Structure 1
Amino acid sequence: MTGPTGRAMPSADPHPARWWRTLPDGRLRCELCPRRCTLREGQRGFCFVRARVGDAIVLTTYGRSSGFVLDPIEKKPLAHVLPGSTILSFGTAGCNLACKYCQNWEISTSRDIDTLTAPATPQALAAAASDAGAAGVAFTYNDPVIFAEYAIDTAAACREAGLASVAVSAGWISPEPCTELFGAVDAANIDLKGFTDDFYRRVTGARLTDVLDTLTRVRALGTWLEITTLLIPGRNDSDAEIAAECAWIAAELGAEVPVHFSAFHPAHRMRETPRTPASTLERARAIARDAGLAHVYLGNVRTRDGASTRCAGCGTLLVDRESYRVTDYRITSEGACPQCGRRVPGLWDPAGPPPAAGQWLPRRVAVGV
């Protein structure tokens, strides 16, 4: 089998895909995401990685990655999941969105199968994470939605090994696979990229309503959920839009769902757009707090208290961070505030963070097949 450039596909057999159906005219329709690509023989979906071979759709990137990196879990970003721990992060190639500002565009827009130079089975990934002393595995860099079969199997392997699994996603997925993918992982950070249909359509190629449906579905599953919004100057950073987003989160998901506002850095097809100033993130945090949100974090900039976790009841500092490094940790072994006893929502290790939490730089690791 060859790719669109004529290059040979990986030697491993393509993996049977799920969530598709045959149409009356003989085309096959992928039903993984709302894009609903319809394929004739030899065609690929928008995401590039799901292709028609004969009378079936296959996932061409199962068991293959663009590389494996040990990261701080705070970098995903996750503030209420095993603070100070490390996690084995990996992605594949392709994406079902078309974000003009993608920070990982070399991977997400890749149409060259040679991007996928690192093979690994789900069991090998879990073993590598365990051997490295990581808390688990994160599906990131590109969206795990498009390699959902691989992610689900890896999450199962992690669970068998006593490890956590984390999905970092834009959340543009159909209801049935949404339940299966996000029901398989322990935690998810979902990008809520903006809060208008116009922004989603013009800048990402997706639809806001589908992502809101994913957020409510993931919350109902009981999977730990955090949300990230990258604020882009002049695009999605108005007071009105931020206020509308925060009001929706408080009403539909709950006031204690952690929300991360991150600064935009010029990338991909938006290199002329300026960086987001720290003052915009501070303003967004003030709006979020006015809406009643209890846990608001600021990313990609250095701001006072922007990465700290505080008790939603008494305001006691619970987890202090410098960049991705935990510098102070006060949550009790029962997951509560030591000052007032209020439960702190999240996934906590009763033993607290590792002794040397964050005292290293992200590094690539080799994973055996």
Structure 2
Amino acid sequence: MSAGEGCRVARAGTAICDVCPRHCHLGPGALGACRARRSLGGAVVPEGYGRVTSIALDPVEKKPLARFMPGAYVVSVGGYGCNLRCPFCQNWEISQAGEKDVRWREVMPDELVSLAAEARRRDPRVLGIAYTYNEPLVCWEYVRDCARLAHEAGLVNVLVSNGCVEPGVLDGLAGLVDAANIDLKGFSDAFYDACGAAPGSFSRVRATIERLAADPTCHLEVTTLVIPGMNDSEGEGEAIARWLAGLGDVPYHVTRFFPCWRMADRPPTPVSTVRHLADVARRHLAHVFVGNC
């Protein structure tokens, strides 16, 4: 792990985190809004590095990836923390948590890759590692270090992310991510505001999707969780699909919301709404899938 990457010094004793659009200004010992990065010794370090809260063996289709190595399995790993505050978060128990709120154990990159390699030895359908569950890029250095070792072991790397990161993070992961699913929460700054995002986050997410779509070494798919009364209009679905179509053949997942966290009082998205928005997307995209229906 390299301490201090993604960091600028604002003034004596204060560091600025450059991982995402929040650009947290952190005094000595202060924790970033993501709860996974801390200012130590004038540098912002990934305190959540190697702190694993969740690990499981999943079919790749669950990420969801519909058109990348179908039938394969991946060792899914997650930590804690996130740079968004989506009130509808499906994994809020870990994404909205800090080190003292959850149980975690340290799993260094070599151990994780060894676990995945052993899983592959037992079952050849296991092809790699997925960085998922919380927002993995708040500790992107861990993803990078694991991914390098995974490639050396002949394993693939899958990234499941909200995509709300600065270009330097993607530079650091160049050539290491074989497949990604990026959450496109909605299609406006206002929607990202509702997700507790920093100004400019919507633009950064679009830039991440555009960059990965243009990367010949990375298979990209995109997911939108459809929230009743928030992003379920035909106009918004049409705009998303039209924009994605301009980036190439990007598989798109339209997923049903279920009540949780701060939106536990809202009903699930009607299945008819999800299927209608999928049909709207198919006006522009060749590969559209529905989830949670």
Shorter-normalised TM-score: what interval?
A: over 0.9
Superposition CA RMSD, Å: 1.5
Structure 1 residue 26: deviation in Å? 4.1
Q: Which of these residues, 223, 234, 237, is aligned with residue 232 of structure 2?
A: 237
| SS of equivalent to 2:180 | strand
Is this contact kept in 2: 1:167–1:182, CA < 8 A?
A: no
- TM-score by structure 2 length? 0.93
1:7 corresponds in structure 2 to none
Larger Rg: 1
Q: Which of these residues, 72, 86, 89, is aligned with residue 85 of structure 1?
A: 72
Structure 1 residue 60: deviation in Å? 1.1
Q: Which of these residues, 76, 95, 114, is aligned with residue 82 of structure 2?
A: 95
| Match runs of 1:1-369 below 5 Å | 16-24=3-11, 26-113=13-100, 115-133=102-120, 134-181=126-173, 183-206=175-198, 207-222=201-216, 223-251=218-246, 253-254=247-248, 256-290=249-283, 292-301=284-293
Is this contact kept in 2: 1:17–1:50, CA < 8 A?
A: no
Is this contact kept in 1: 2:21–2:165, CA < 8 A?
A: yes
Question: Could you tell me the percent identity over the aligned residues?
Answer: 44
Structure 1 residue 196: deviation in Å? 1.6
Cα 1:59–1:86 shift into 2, 3 Å: same
Cα 1:265–1:187 shift into 2, 3 Å: same
Query: Match of 1:239, as an amino acid?
Result: E
1:367 corresponds in structure 2 to none
| SS of equivalent to 1:151 | helix
Is this contact kept in 2: 1:264–1:275, CA < 8 A?
A: yes
Structure 1 residue 56: deviation in Å? 1.8
Is this contact kept in 2: 1:29–1:39, CA < 8 A?
A: yes
| CA distance in 1 between partners of 2:103 and 2:116 (Å) | 19
| CA distance in 2 between partners of 1:15 and 1:158 (Å) | 18
Can you give the 5+ residue segments of structure 1 that lack an aligned partner in the other structure?
1-13, 302-369
| CA distance in 1 between partners of 2:36 and 2:104 (Å) | 15
1:328-358 deviation line (CA, Å, top 9, x unaligned): xxxxxxxxxxxxxxxxxxxxxxxxxxxxxxx
| SS of equivalent to 1:246 | helix
| CA distance in 1 between partners of 2:226 and 2:27 (Å) | 39
Structure 1 residue 204: deviation in Å? 4.1
Can you give the 5+ residue segments of structure 2 that lack an aligned partner in the other structure?
121-125
Is this contact kept in 2: 1:179–1:218, CA < 8 A?
A: no
